[in-house]
Amino acid sequence: MKIELASSYGFCFGVKRAINIAQKYENSATMGPLIHNEDEINRLKKDFNVGLYSNLSDVKPEDTVIIRTHGIPKDELKELKKTTKKVINATCPFVTTPQNIVKNMSKEGYSIVIFGDINHPEVKGVMSYATDIEDVHIILCKEDLKNLKFKKSKIACVAQTTKKKETYLEIVNELILKNKEVRVFNTICDATFENQDAARDISIKADVMIVIGGKSSSNTKQLHSICLENCKDSYLIENEQDLEISWFKDKKFCGITAGASTPDWVIQKVINKIEGFKL
Amino acid sequence: MKIELASSYGFCFGVKRAINIAQKYENSATMGPLIHNEDEINRLKKDFNVGLYSNLSDVKPEDTVIIRTHGIPKDELKELKKTTKKVINATCPFVTTPQNIVKNMSKEGYSIVIFGDINHPEVKGVMSYATDIEDVHIILCKEDLKNLKFKKSKIACVAQTTKKKETYLEIVNELILKNKEVRVFNTICDATFENQDAARDISIKADVMIVIGGKSSSNTKQLHSICLENCKDSYLIENEQDLEISWFKDKKFCGITAGASTPDWVIQKVINKIEGFKL
């Protein structure tokens, strides 16, 4: 069986940057998981003693606290800065962009549409920057637009950085047909685009696809959904322990891709294990 | 054979308004054809002595000049106002909107994309309002985007009021994927939308479709193209003289629609003639 990696996969700019920051600040702690990958977070704890806070109330004034790549809500950041002066911002710059857009567009009198998961930390952070939170609408598909009531006739749209571009266009098209002005910001990050395009290309050729990434990682789930469109035997795994030998029986071409928070060392372990299978 | 009119057809708000203005100003002249319908222009000449100028240089200081529904370029309007003080603006308010958008967006530092016919008077007028004419790009389909070079990273889009919404979305989608900010103004007018939707509905049921309108009328050509998608025997005519009896042989359902510049009296003559055919 041939094993091939997608032409673009894994760590994006923002994740690489955040890990570099965390490695620089030994003995610090992150506010929420730095990235959506438990294995890498465990490595940072083991090798650099980077801890993890889930609650703002646990932070102590002497702590150095790193903001996660996904960002945090505006008020939490303010609160955090009151507790400790040592706040290091590892928010991905591509996430800071939609935060600023929402802030400015909301001020300029636009109703805000965010294409994203309401429970995702990035979206919680982005929406918090609106001046009128009641006129921010978080949706997952064009059908969600049906019962929305906008306060303004002008709409500004942003997307969670890791969402699927096709669905974003569907939403935007529906908005354009029904509103006089729609200001569309393409905030889906290029790395996401590239990984998505490469996943599409390789999954067309593969008869089994392995998508490696955290179970809560939005961009990994998108990659899995794209692979499933082209290759029904597409599996989402966190690491090599999730692999099952039966998936590869009688297969000729195994494609591999990985989410933006998946470190290379995890990917390598997966490849080693598949290569070791006696099929 | 059953004959049925589309549920929405013919005169739009802007055309009705322009004709009312012309009827009010007897012995005036229009700058270019007031609307794209020769029969109606002949009627205005005959009943109200409304003349027609093709060249600015022919206008005399004592003339009352009416600006056509499609508007005219900014500099021509300025020139015209120098020649005569009696300038009556019958530009459709839905055309004034994209003129103002192009003016403002160009000032705010956006590259401008206009979805429309470069030779159509409306488009010539709209584009003339840009402060940087070299950064205005007139296109007819998404393929036309390929070789464009924008001066700015932010794009503002408007559409000729009578264009097809599906093609506009195709263009806009391509722009969104390739640019960080696309400000989309839905300037296709509702009457156009309604006539297009109604033409689609009736042409699905019809086995012969008659589309009545001026040969230079953009919105009439759109209606014809929509009808052709659903009914191969769709004919574009200017008036009842263009009808051929052979079109109706063995047909069961004749659908009728008309462009936004087609007066009811022309439509009625067409229906009368079809009803009179001995099939």
- DSSP secondary structure, B104-127, as one string: HHHHTT-EEEEES-TTSHHHHHHH
* pLDDT band, residue A85 (cuts 50/70/90): confident
Min distance A177 CA to chain B CA atoms (Å): 7
> CA–CA separation, A27 vs A85, rounded Å?
16
Q: Shortest Cα distance from B245 to chain A (angstroms)?
A: 40
Rounded CA gap, A257 and A236, in Å?
A: 10
Whether the pLDDT of residue A216 is over 90: the answer is no
Nearest alpha-carbon partner for B57 in B85, B34, B36, B76: B76
Q: Is pLDDT at A201 greater than 90 in this prediction?
A: yes
Would you place residue A243 in the very low, low, confident or very high pLDDT band (cuts 50, 70, 90)? very high
Q: Which two tokens stand for residue B219?
A: 């919105």
pLDDT at B215: 84
Task: Write down the mean pLDDT value for chain A.
Answer: 94
Q: Residue B29: its pLDDT value, please?
A: 96
The residue in chain B having the minimum alpha-carbon distance to the alpha carbon of residue A181 is B185
- B96 to chain A, any CB pair closer than 8 A? The answer is no
User: In angstroms, rounded to a whole number, what is the distance separating the alpha carbons of residues B201 and B216?
Assistant: 24
Please give the pLDDT value at position B191: 80
- Chain A residues in contact with B194 (beta carbon < 8 A): none
Gap between the Cα atoms of B74 and B94, Å rounded: 16
Residue B173 at interface with chain A, using a CB cutoff of 8 Å: yes
In tens, the pLDDT along A152-193 reads: 989 999 999 989 889 999 999 999 999 999 999 999 987 888
Per-residue confidence (pLDDT) for residue A238, from 0 to 100? 95
Burial class (CB in 10 A: 0-12, 13-18, 19+), A13: middle
| Residues A111/A137, Cβ–Cβ less than 8 Å | yes
Tokens of B202: 């009736």
CA distance B194 to A233: 46
pLDDT of residue B217: 85
**pLDDT given for residue A189 in this prediction:** 87
**Is B224 one of the annotated binding-site residues?**
no
Residues of chain A contacting residue B165, judged by C-beta atoms under 8 Å apart: 177
CA–CA separation, A182 vs A158, rounded Å? 11
Is residue A135 scored above 90 in pLDDT? yes
Cβ of B177 and A165 within 8 Å? yes
**At A254, is the secondary structure helix, strand, or coil?**
strand
* Residue B78 CB contacts under 8 Å (≥ 6 apart), including other chains: none
pLDDT along chain B (279 residues), means of 10: 94 92 95 91 96 93 95 95 94 96 97 96 96 96 94 96 92 95 94 89 97 89 95 96 96 96 93 93
Q: How would you write B123-158 as a 3-class SS string?
A: HHHHHCCCCCHHHEEEECCHHHHCCCCCCCCEEEEE
Distance CA(A32)–CA(A40), nearest Å, equals 14
Q: What is the pLDDT of residue A279?
A: 80
Distance separating alpha carbons of residues A203 and A193, to the nearest angstrom: 15
Which DSSP state fits B68? P
- Using the predicted structure, report yes or no on whether residue A215 has a pLDDT greater than 90: no
Name the active-site residue from A40, A122, A238, A240.
Answer: A122
Q: What are the residue numbers of the active site of B?
A: 122
Cβ-Cβ contacts under 8 Å for A250 (sequence gap 6 or more): none
Residue B245 has a pLDDT of 96
